[in-house]
Chains A and B, each alone.
Chain A
Amino acid sequence: MKRFFLSTLLLVSLLPATSFAHKVWLRPSQTVLSGPEPWVTVDAAVSNDLFYFNHFPLRLDGLEIIAPSGTAVTAENQSVGKYRSVFDLPLTEKGTYRIAIVNRGVFAGWEEDGERKRFRGTPEMLADAIPANAENVQVTESIGRIETFVTNGAPSIESIQPTGEGVELVPLTHPNDLYAGETTKFRLVVNGEPVEGMEVTVIRGETRYRNAQDEVQLTTDANGEFSVAWDEPGMYWLETSTEDKKTSVPQANSRRLSYAATLEVLPQ
């Protein structure tokens, strides 16, 4: 228990982008668009409130956008500000775009001459970061996926198939076809496989204008599936995380996986 608490603390201090207290999110200006080449603009931030910029910008290094045809596209006008990052995306193709920031990293802790040291970075940087005389080395790999979906015209599903890496959300109902008063079914997969018992948090935005988070806690069933009943229209934030030992970094002995998505629910 104590160890768990410690590692949690370590996580919070090392990985603000995937910590428990702060919410990481991408928020598109709108999710359902039309026209020959509509543009969407997306904010990316880490904050306590949804969806307000009051803490950190979210770095855009891991930005991965998949067009409806399956090709990777680059966002325009990328900018990292004091509290938020921003980018624009022209939707030149019809169908659904998957917009994600994927962070693949490692964090390590060790003792060096009786002092605690910490490191956070890429797996390649790890060998140089930890000195030969380090003791009690703990290396944890992390994969975090933060994503959202936007559609020009009719929704398509080619771009939203799981890649098989980390935690991913498989929308059994299309993520750009969510309406208040309806229920949506999702599946969570870890490395492409459904996982039972994953805990999911769903929170509607505009938290600044109410006294409670009003979060909904859900758990995946044997098929990795869960349902969300949308009470009100709005931008929603969905989050889950898990840990396993399936590391791809040789020095790492555990792996932490996180997932967050922003979904828009429209009025009927």
Chain B
Amino acid sequence: MNTKLTGVILFLALAGVGWADEPTADVELTIEIPRMNVSEYHRPYVAVWIQDEDRQAVANLTVWYQMTESQEGAGTKWLPDLRQWWRRSGRSLKMPVDGVSAATRPAGDHKLSFAFTDPRFAKLSPGDYSLVVEASREVGGRELLTLPFTWPSEKLQVQEAKGEEELGEIKLTLQPAK
């Protein structure tokens, strides 16, 4: 753990040197969508939200779904397949949601950054939370990963998880508050 943490700090330090003009985001999330060798591949729907200890959704960070019109219309029909997100939050939203909904993304690593001043974080009352990533794929499966964190962020928090099917590695980094 110590060496890992040192590694992270070292990396951050080096990153700081390398891209000095690009300040490190307060909250950074990377989501890996695995590359799959299947005959019929559809990009997954992905929802990312923050829930409190009672599993109540307190903030929506992102929802990737098929936003363009197809024969079946826009892809809102399949949003309930993100079962937990739909129950905790999605079903009471009017899609699309500004700053939250976005188009589906291809396989690979995707980075999301948030500032502590983002209202979705700034409005959190102090306590323990989970960041939840749920992915669901047409003619595929569904997977949900949870990363715990404490708010406000007093020290560097790094949480990682790895999915087995629909999600690859996900990593959450919260910088200490300045």
**Chain A residues packing against B (C-beta within 8 Å):** 32-36, 38, 151, 153-155, 177, 179, 266-268
Q: Quick check: which of B25-33, B83-91, B112-120, B170-178 contacts chain A, the rest being far away?
A: B83-91
Are A154 and B92 in contact, with the CB atoms below 8 A? Answer: yes
- How far is it, in angstroms, between the C-alpha of A32 and the C-alpha of B73 when the chains are bound? 18
Interface string of B137-161 (1 = CB under 8 A from A): 0000000000000000000000000
Cβ-closest chain A residue relative to B72: A35
Are A35 and B77 in contact, with the CB atoms below 8 A? Answer: yes
- How far is it, in angstroms, between the C-alpha of A267 and the C-alpha of B84 when the chains are bound? 9
Are A35 and B91 in contact, with the CB atoms below 8 A? Answer: no
Are A35 and B86 in contact, with the CB atoms below 8 A? Answer: no
**Chain B, 64-94, CB within 8 A of any chain A CB:** 73-74, 76-80, 83-84, 86-87, 90-92
- How far is it, in angstroms, between the C-alpha of A268 and the C-alpha of B88 when the chains are bound? 11
Are B92 and A33 in contact, with the CB atoms below 8 A? Answer: no
Cβ-closest chain B residue relative to A37: B73
Say how far B70's CB is from chain A's closest CB, in angstroms: 12
Enumerate chain B residues within 8 angstroms of A154, measured Cβ to Cβ. Answer: 91-92
- How far is it, in angstroms, between the C-alpha of A181 and the C-alpha of B77 when the chains are bound? 26
- Beyond A266-B83, A267-B83, A268-B84, whether A36 also contacts B76 by CB under 8 A is yes
Are B87 and A177 in contact, with the CB atoms below 8 A? Answer: yes
Enumerate chain A residues within 8 angstroms of B84, measured Cβ to Cβ. Answer: 268
In-complex Cβ contact of B80 among A32, A177, A179, A268 (8 A): A32
Chain B: residues with Cβ within 8 Å of the partner, total of 14
Q: What would be 29 A-B contacts, judged by CB atoms less than 8 Å apart?
A: A32-B86, A32-B91, A33-B77, A33-B80, A34-B77, A34-B78, A34-B79, A34-B80, A34-B86, A34-B90, A34-B91, A35-B73, A35-B74, A35-B76, A35-B77, A36-B73, A36-B76, A38-B77, A151-B91, A153-B91, A153-B92, A154-B91, A154-B92, A155-B91, A177-B87, A179-B87, A267-B83, A268-B83, A268-B84
Are A34 and B76 in contact, with the CB atoms below 8 A? Answer: yes
- How far is it, in angstroms, between the C-alpha of A32 and the C-alpha of B90 when the chains are bound? 12
Cβ-closest chain A residue relative to B77: A35
- How far is it, in angstroms, between the C-alpha of A179 and the C-alpha of B90 when the chains are bound? 16
Cβ-closest chain B residue relative to A153: B91
Q: What does DSSP make chain A's interface, helix, strand, loop or mixed?
A: loop
Which 3 residue pairs across A and B have the least CB separation, nearest first?
A35-B77, A154-B92, A35-B76
Enumerate chain A residues within 8 angstroms of B91, measured Cβ to Cβ. Answer: 32, 34, 151, 153-155
- How far is it, in angstroms, between the C-alpha of A34 and the C-alpha of B91 when the chains are bound? 8
- How far is it, in angstroms, between the C-alpha of A23 and the C-alpha of B109 when the chains are bound? 51
- How far is it, in angstroms, between the C-alpha of A151 and the C-alpha of B91 when the chains are bound? 10
Say how far A180's CB is from chain B's closest CB, in angstroms: 11
- How far is it, in angstroms, between the C-alpha of A266 and the C-alpha of B85 when the chains are bound? 13
**Chain B, 48-75, CB within 8 A of any chain A CB:** 73-74
Say how far B68's CB is from chain A's closest CB, in angstroms: 14
- How far is it, in angstroms, between the C-alpha of A264 and the C-alpha of B77 when the chains are bound? 18
- How far is it, in angstroms, between the C-alpha of A247 and the C-alpha of B76 when the chains are bound? 48
Enumerate chain A residues within 8 angstroms of B86, measured Cβ to Cβ. Answer: 32, 34
Cβ-closest chain B residue relative to A31: B80
- How far is it, in angstroms, between the C-alpha of A34 and the C-alpha of B80 when the chains are bound? 7
Enumerate chain A residues within 8 angstroms of B80, measured Cβ to Cβ. Answer: 32-34
**Chain B, 86-128, CB within 8 A of any chain A CB:** 86-87, 90-92
Enumerate chain B residues within 8 angstroms of A38, measured Cβ to Cβ. Answer: 77
Enumerate chain A residues within 8 angstroms of B74, measured Cβ to Cβ. Answer: 35
Enumerate chain A residues within 8 angstroms of B90, measured Cβ to Cβ. Answer: 34
